[in-house]
Amino acid sequence: MVYRYTGESQSGGKNWEQNRKLNVKNVVMAVFRCCQKGNHLDTSGCFQDTLSKKRQFFAKELLTPMTEIRNEFSWSKSRNEIFQTCPRQYYFNYYGYWGGWEPNAPERTRHIYILKNLKNRFTWAGEKVHDSIKHTLKNLQRGISVLDVDDIVSITLDQMRDDFRSSKEKRYLAHPKTCAFFEHEYEVDLPDAEWKKVADDVQTCLRNFYSSEIYSFLKGLPQQNWLEIEDFSSFNLDGTKIWAVIDCSFRTEDGVTIIDWKTGRSTTTDVSLQLCCYAMYGKEKWGVKPEKIKLVEYNLLSDQKSESTVTEGEIANTRTYIKGSIADIQSLLLDVENNVPKEERFFKKIEDDKIRDRCNFRKICH
Ligand code: SF4
């Protein structure tokens, strides 16, 4: 039988065992407070109550069979990129870490899990900008007033300072869901000015966003026109779940607009695959023809945006590409239906110093 696993993300960084102890403690404390208020005439009544509540707690919270957490196969642009970069890195990211959050996980599995969660300062900056904008847009969508840009910047920078301190102290070793920087784990010697530049870039991105025409437009968008804001959305391709996380989308007079926020300095990334995935999702989810879906890529750092649409032909090519990628990746599975991988050694290592230097897993990859 499979029992309930509450998971760290649902419990403020606490694991299953810590949660269980906390909940038992809460039940006992509730009864104790009840006694203090004089709700019971004698302690035996409280004791009975305690037992009854404990029994209910164990029956309801601990022994309720839940759906087993399964490592299901899905496809995403980033999954494909990791596989293309290095199959061994792919193995660590999608299989080697599995179960590393368990209190009794083997040491190497737990280590892989911690390394998987490392982020570098650039992805962290991007996440902070996305989180902040997502929060604002969700408020707009629900008709809740939005803070002043200075307050938003100040809150974001405070959060960044907290993240930085936490990672520098390596809290993530005991609490793997907290912020963990690649730069700290691998003791990259970075001058303070580099970190300051990252914070400055975040501030620039946010200020550009909150003074942009797009933001002014979104502020006036009727509530019924909003579609998705950073939802974990997916569509199905021949039985495989394909992820397409959309930063912002809304209905227009004759179709749908999807916006993708970019926060990096590079403008050379090929975004056609990503845009086609969005269009495929839009077609399946909202029934909108590809030519009616406008894709806007807005680089918040350079304050530049570009617009595009994709054609049915490009979507057909993308579909073929994704199917090929799925077949390549699944060729390293022992059991495709249950997403069981072959042994680690079958996932080839890439001997490239440039890739290795940036790889989260080099500590355990020998
Ligand atoms: S250290 Fe190199 S071979 Fe190992 S996972 Fe990273 S990139 Fe791949």
Q: Is the pLDDT of residue 22 over 50?
A: no
pLDDT in tens, 122-178: 999 999 999 999 999 999 999 999 999 999 999 999 999 999 999 999 999 999 899
Averaged pLDDT, 191-207: 97
Which ligand 1 atom lies nearest to the CA of residue 360?
Answer: 6
Q: Whose CA is nearest to atom 7 of ligand 1?
A: 356
Domain ranges of the chain: 1-69, 227-323
List phi, psi (to 5°) of 112. Answer: -60, -40
Q: Distance, CA 190 to ligand 1 centroid (Å)? A: 23
d(CA 207, CA 203) in angstroms, rounded, equals 6
Among 132, 133, 98, 124, smallest CA distance to 112 is for 98
The whole-model pTM stands at: 0.80
Q: Distance, CA 352 to ligand 1 centroid (Å)? A: 8
Q: Distance, CA 308 to ligand 1 centroid (Å)? A: 36
pLDDT in tens, 280-307: 999 899 999 999 999 999 999 999 999 9
Averaged pLDDT, 6-17: 35
pLDDT in tens, 101-113: 998 999 999 999 9
pLDDT in tens, 27-56: 434 433 433 333 333 333 333 444 444 445
Q: Whose CA is nearest to atom 5 of ligand 1?
A: 89
- Domain 227-323 annotated CATH 1.10.3720.10: no
Q: Report yes or no: 175 and 18 within 8 Å, Cβ to Cβ.
A: no
Averaged pLDDT, 231-240: 92
List phi, psi (to 5°) of 258. Answer: -120, 130
pLDDT in tens, 76-103: 999 999 999 999 999 999 999 999 999 8
Among 297, 261, 258, 250, smallest CA distance to 280 is for 258
